[in-house]
Structure 1
Amino acid sequence: MSALLSRIRVLLGLSDAAERWMPVIIGIFIIGFLARAIALGVFLATDPYFTMDNDSHGYVSLAENLVAGNGFAWDTAMPWTPDSFRTPAYPLYLAGSLTVFGSFVPALIGQVFLSLLLGYLMLLIADRYLKIEVGIVAVAVFFLMPFSVLVTVRYLTQILFTTFLMLAVWFWLEYLSKGYGKYLTLSSLLTPLAALVRPIGIFLTAPFIASLALQALWKQVSWKKFLGVSAIMVAIFAVAIAPWVYRNYVVFGLPYLSSITAVQLYFYDAPAIYAESKDIGYEKARTYMNRHIEEVTGYNVAENPLLYTELSPLTETLKKEGLRFALADPMALIETRAEQFFKFFTRDGIRYWIEHYGIDTYSGWALIPIIAERAVLLLFTFGFFLYSFSMFMRKNITVTFMALTVLYFAALSGVMSSAGLRFPAEPLFLLLGTAGLFEVWKLIPKKKSV
């Protein structure tokens, strides 16, 4: 048995330090697989609608229309209006499943195995750059987090996006530590793939380039190398997303990856800032801003939704007016962003399970698991910032890069973001959070055995 476990360890590329932990590691992955496989099987058999989220309907419609030859549209009937709100990678993933298997279910099965790949990448990163014990704990928590299971068994982008992200992170860590060009190329190719899954990845090269800038600042690489590598990464990213941007330019007249940025800014983020500035409720602020944009454009929001949600002549107006409201009160902007930044780390995902069955999450027994999950998240948040700061002070570039990647998503957190936005950063957040808690544990005095 020990010989078999040793062969598995070598096959997985884990160090000798992982040898004694192999039974635990295998057990954790079996539990992670069973949790997802059983959940998927049960819900497909008893409650198929559980696999659908509000966003899922759009992705499924896009995939069905692609397979039917109706183009990238989420209409369920003619005229098959082209869509610019979503990016193409996830609908193509679903369309591939429908084309090959005649069903979307294999796409969910694929997500189960991709989630296991995410756990493996976490373990690999911990073994190489942290401690194998850190990886074991972080992977166990990741596999059992309610939201992690939820997004695996639903038609949502999180698993595919996070897979591309974590692969890019892994290859970039290897590049930072070894400097081989093949790792730079692979990482540079994966970041635009992530952006084509979710538009939030449009600036995803930022933490990668920032980590290289810190390496140059810390005199670990030359500034010449920083400029050259940054140019390569940005160029590959731009070339990779160019076909979709060009498609949007031809169809809608605007060279953007997606229309979601302007919509999010004006209809969700700016109202929160305006509400803080005027000391009014969020819904009241949204109502006011809806009336304002209708006066500016002459189009009713409820009667002309596509003019606002798709790329159109109104997109630039939404951006301009959204920025005007957002920047009108700098203090309100700072306070709102600080609040969203904090909520990024503490938003729970268990509520989605509870709300699916129509249970009030703000009263009764439902509060208990929500409070418990938030307490756990606060603990990991403490560990994350403690460890990230200490490694930054020690000029540890690999840990600092992982922290920068988490902070990238935290900085973009908005009113409508939830545990779903944190999920792509969840593997790195849990790894660094666990590492920080390990450091705290070492500082606690232990009783000596007599």
Structure 2
Amino acid sequence: MTDSSFTMNRFFLPSDRQRWIVPAIAIFAFAIRAAPLFRSLDAWAMDNDSSRYVELADGLRAGCGFAKDLATGCAAAEVLRTPGYPLFLAAMPSLKAALFVQAIIGALACLVAGLTTAKFWGIRAGATAAILLALDVPSIVNGDRVMSDGLFQGLVTAAICLELIAIGRGQSDREGIMLIVGAAVISGAAILVRPIGLSLPIFAGAAALIASSGDWRRRAAIAIVAAAIPGLVTAGWVARNRVRSGVWTISTDGALALYYFGAAGVVWNRTGLQFPVVQRELANEIGERFENYPDTPPSKQHKMITHSIGIYANDPIGAAAVTARSLAWLLWIPDRANLAPFIETSGGAKRLEVATSDVPTRLRDLLSSPVLTLLVGLQSVLMLVTWAGIAIAFIKIRRKAGREKMMIAFLLVAAMLMILPAALPAAMSRYRIPAVPLFAMLSGIGYFGKFSIFTPLDSV
């Protein structure tokens, strides 16, 4: 663990002779993700948000900055979306090229997650992690759409795995610092792709603190720098939005989600009204229409946040209950609505959410497509397999060395903080995608982790 011959060009590679297995799985993952690109781009590749991303990318190309290019000129500065994914699209020669690159990113996530797991816990654990991620249907489907999920998943996987390697090495030497700083830079990019990654600076700093047991002042200094890199990126974008819109925010999407889905869920749980009815009533209270909620003026953000806090404070038990139900749903629910157009079937075309009404009708709709029913069943089995492996990992952890416990806990906390903000009544499988590689790694560790490279004296 303290081998001074450690070099950057081999930090992912396990020592097992069978280490080629993980790259082979990554190639398989790429084949699955790239295969749909032989079709023409259609509904399967587009989401409600896709057009907004494309319009923002067009605005960047047209010289409008981060704003749409309208027929009448450049629109007002965009504050609903962050610039990471539109910049990615603007750099691509076509949407199909962007999806091809996303397929590569998905395969690389399998490779990085698998090899990192294999390096510390053995090739069978790494191969298990890679195959669970390669077969994850929400990752496949949403990575093949003009959406930010695949890019964000790849960045999160890279950042967390670099930090995990730094912790596993147990040294705050030059290469350890390079790993942590590299993870911090990637974390900053990830936050600009999806603000739900706002917890990433915490992990950059935490990795620096627990990577070694050396001088605490040195570790603290490295931690501050590591957390500051993505933190400054975030602060810079918040300052830009303040200047351009008058609102302190990294994205107004957070306030919209809190108000129209979080607070609405608490009201729905308390009153029993249908969820869309609650959402429309909340929109009326701030003088807006829910049907147009993405275009809510930034000036309404303060009112939405204040009203949401009041709703949560008036019913904390109900809020906790709705959050717990939504989180449980989010951790298991298979992909249906996005999968249906992807495999070109009309069955199950409506999302099944915690606040869904008329569940029997939607289930009958699902069963009308045998292929969709089979794929939903397979997803459920894979999630059960994944969670069983995670449970085994934490049953075994009591007998393990301190550093290893830290690494496993680091993975779980990172995964949960990636999805906890999305634990709302509108939760769906797409919101689980950032955490899937980390869950897959934990599951591989549980089933096949050798735990042999750590010793009882290897503690933090």
TM-score range, shorter chain: 0.7 to 0.9
Residue 184 (structure 1) shift? 2.0
Aligned position for 1:53: 47
Contact 1:112 1:152 in 2 (8 A): yes
TM-score (norm 1): 0.83
**Matched residue, 2:80:** 85
Q: 2:430 aligns with which of 408, 414, 420?
A: 420
Task: Flag structure 2 segments of 5+ consecutive residues without an equivalent.
Answer: 1-8, 349-361, 450-460
After superposition, residues 52-131 of structure 1 pair within 5 angstroms as 52-74=46-68, 76-79=70-73, 80-97=75-92, 101=93, 103-131=94-122
Aligned to 2:353: none
Tell me what 1:358 maps to: 346
Q: Could you say if the C-alpha distance between residues 270 and 392 of structure 1 is closer, same or farther in structure 2, counting changes exceeding 3 Å?
A: farther
- Conserved 8 A contact 2:419-2:434: no
Query: Whole-Å Cα distance in 1 between the matches of residues 35 and 222 of structure 2?
Result: 45
Distance (Å, rounded) in 2 between the aligned partners of 1:434 and 1:381 = 10
Cα 1:211–1:174 change in 2 (3 A) is: closer
- CA offsets, 1:347-385, max 9 Å, x none? 212542225632136222344432331232133123224
Number of corresponding residues: 412
The alignment yields a C-alpha RMSD, in angstroms, of: 2.8
Q: Which residue of 2 aligns with 1:445?
A: none
Q: From the superposition, tell whether residues 77 and 431 of structure 1 become closer, same or farther in structure 2 (CA, over 3 Å).
A: same
CA contact (8 A) 2:122 2:448 kept: no
In the alignment, structure 1 segments of 5+ residues that lack a partner are 1-9, 440-450
Which is bigger in relative contact order (C-alpha 8 A, separation at least 6)?
A: 2
> Is the 8 Å Cα contact of residues 264 and 278 (structure 2) preserved in structure 1?
yes
In the TM superposition, residue 393 of structure 1 has moved relative to its aligned partner by: 7.1
8 Å CA contact retained: 1:90, 1:157: yes
Contact 1:194–1:201 (CA<8 Å) still a contact in 2? Answer: yes
Residue 431 (1) aligns with residue 418 (2): no
Cα distance, 1:276 vs structure 2: 1.5
The secondary structure found in structure 2 opposite 1:401 is helix
Match of residue 316, structure 1, among 292, 295, 302: 302
**CA deviation after TM superposition for structure 1 residue 302, in Å:** 5.2
Whichever structure has more helix as a proportion of its residues is 1
1:196 paired with 2:192, answer yes
Q: Is 2:323 the counterpart of 1:340?
A: no
- Where does residue 140 of structure 2 map in the other structure? 149
Return 70-79 or 166-175, whichever deviates more: 70-79
Structure 2 contact 166–207 (Cα < 8 Å) conserved: no
Q: Which residue type is aligned with residue 420 of structure 1?
A: R
What is the letter of the counterpart of residue 20 of structure 1? Q
C-alpha separation between the residues in 2 aligned to 1:393 and 1:282? 47
The aligned amino acid for 1:326 is: Y
Paired amino acid for 1:409: M
Provide Cα deviations, 1:377-434, integer angstroms capped at 9, x if missing partner.
Answer: 1331232244146437743211211111111123222233322221111111111123
In structure 1, the partner of 2:289 is 301
Q: Give 3-state SS (helix, strand or coil) of 2:76's partner.
A: coil
Q: Identity of aligned pairs, percent? A: 22
SS at match of 1:412: helix
Matches within 5 A, 1:15-34: 15-17=14-16, 19-20=17-18, 22=20, 24-34=21-31
